[in-house]
């Protein structure tokens, strides 16, 4: 099926999941259930509510336009806001300042990057926002959690947003609201060395299920592998870099006489101006390989371009599993929160065109009532 797609169809289907499902369902009838699997309530606020929640442009200094819209949509979807707010991994405080203006409540932000902390506090002071950002490693074991506070996180990565869930329920925070991102960012330290560790689900119910998924890091990365909001220039750079990686992969297999993938460190798509030969020399140096002086780089570049066209067609089929996998991950979070005595809402807080990471998990602690079984999501 995928082999039959033209280049134009591949470009179109890469960002059109429903069109891809329609085409694939002709060969896989079970995909008729796809819409039921991924359908969620729309928690998207009215456009007028989003506009009123967004910081005015005159106050949105240094704030990217898309981030301003995302923060406004997220804030509007959380109304009403009744408690002081903790903005988890808040960066420069874009969401913090939006929530402070929207709610009239004080907002404290946790952020580990001192430069962002300084810049964010400077903006909050300049515009007289009720926001204070603290330099804080949220993964620290001695982290002190505030009480009677609404914990929020907009696109905190992997272990960071999972830490908010764990520490938030341990502190019995009255409300937790987050839009997760980058589920594959899962690391730990052993004897001071950073290592990747297997993914562990949060809820007891998921853990007790014998046939549960056991996603690895690559599976988790699949859940967020989309470029819906990337500019055309960035997409082109990414495509070229992927072609180069595949070209070098063919080259290194030939040099080592080993038909096995050799992971190469990530490289910014913006750093492609030096050309394919320079990329190969850089990658070879990273992997301690010696390139022959007469390496035919044009031939290996052509190999990479051809291989890319093959790979992108098979990748389209993998893309069918992106949203179901992400929902499985977030539903595990939701069940975990219910097990801890929270009533949970799960839905979309904005259109996919604004950000494909548009899921909102909103949990309110049910005071004085034993943990609820499992509410309807």
11 and 74 together in one domain: no
92 and 214 together in one domain: yes
Query: In the chain, how many domains are there?
Result: 2
* Domain assignment present for 375: no
77 and 174 together in one domain: yes
What pLDDT, on the 0 to 100 scale, is given for residue 268?
74
What pLDDT, on the 0 to 100 scale, is given for residue 372?
46
* Domain assignment present for 299: yes
Q: Count CA within 13 A, CB hemisphere, residue 365.
A: 18
95 CB-contact burial (10 Å; exposed 0-12 / middle 13-18 / buried 19+): buried
314 and 325 together in one domain: no
* Residue-wise burial string across 55-80, b where 16 or more C-beta atoms lie within 10 A, e elsewhere: beeebbeebeeebbbbbbbbbbbbee
232 and 118 together in one domain: no
195 and 337 together in one domain: yes
What pLDDT, on the 0 to 100 scale, is given for residue 195?
62
What pLDDT, on the 0 to 100 scale, is given for residue 374?
46
- The residue range of the domain holding 35 is 2-39+228-319
Global pTM? 0.84
335 and 361 together in one domain: yes
140 and 168 together in one domain: yes
Q: What is the DSSP letter of 84?
A: -
* Domain assignment present for 141: yes
84 and 197 together in one domain: yes
Element of type H or E holding 374: none
202 and 80 together in one domain: yes
* Domain assignment present for 377: no
CATH classification of the domain holding 335: 3.40.50.150
What pLDDT, on the 0 to 100 scale, is given for residue 359?
97
Spans of the chain below 70 pLDDT: 1-3, 187-197, 227-230, 270, 367-377
């Amino acid at each position: 099926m995928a082999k039959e797609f033209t280049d134009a169809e591949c470009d179109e289907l890469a960002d059109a999941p429903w069109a891809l499902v329609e085409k694939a369902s002709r060969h896989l009838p079970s995909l008729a259930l796809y819409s039921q699997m991924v359908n969620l309530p729309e928690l998207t606020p009215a456009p007028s509510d989003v506009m009123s929640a967004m910081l005015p442009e005159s106050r949105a200094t240094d704030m990217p336009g898309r981030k301003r819209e995302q923060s406004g949509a997220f804030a509007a979807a959380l109304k009403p806001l009744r408690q002081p707010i903790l903005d988890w991994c808040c960066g420069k405080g874009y969401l913090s300042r939006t929530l402070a203006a929207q709610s009239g409540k004080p907002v404290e932000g946790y952020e580990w990057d001192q430069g962002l902390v300084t810049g964010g506090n400077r903006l909050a002071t300049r515009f007289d926002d009720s926001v204070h950002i603290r330099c804080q490693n949220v993964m620290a074991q001695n982290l002190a959690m505030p009480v009677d506070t609404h914990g929020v996180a907009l696109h905190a990565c992997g272990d960071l947003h999972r830490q908010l869930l764990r520490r938030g329920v341990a502190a019995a925070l009255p409300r937790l609201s987050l839009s997760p991102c980058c589920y594959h960012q899962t690391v730990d330290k052993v004897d001071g060395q950073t290592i990747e560790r297997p993914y562990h689900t949060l809820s007891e119910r998921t853990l007790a299920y014998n046939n549960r998924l056991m996603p690895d890091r690559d599976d988790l990365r699949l859940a967020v592998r989309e470029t819906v909001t990337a500019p055309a220039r960035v997409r082109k750079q990414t495509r070229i870099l992927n072609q180069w990686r595949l070209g070098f992969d063919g080259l290194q297999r030939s040099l080592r006489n080993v038909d096995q993938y050799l992971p190469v460190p990530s490289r910014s798509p913006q750093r492609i101006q030096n050309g394919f030969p320079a990329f190969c020399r850089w990658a070879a140096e990273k992997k301690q390989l010696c390139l022959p002086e007469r390496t035919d780089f044009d031939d290996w570049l052509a190999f990479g371009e051809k291989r890319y066209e093959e790979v992108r067609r098979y990748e389209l089929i993998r893309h069918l599993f992106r949203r179901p996998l992400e929902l499985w991950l977030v539903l595990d979070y939701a069940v975990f929160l219910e097990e801890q005595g929270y009533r949970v809402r799960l839905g979309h807080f904005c259109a996919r065109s604004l950000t494909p990471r548009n899921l909102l998990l909103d949990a309110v602690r049910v005071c004085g009532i034993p943990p609820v079984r499992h509410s309807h999501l």
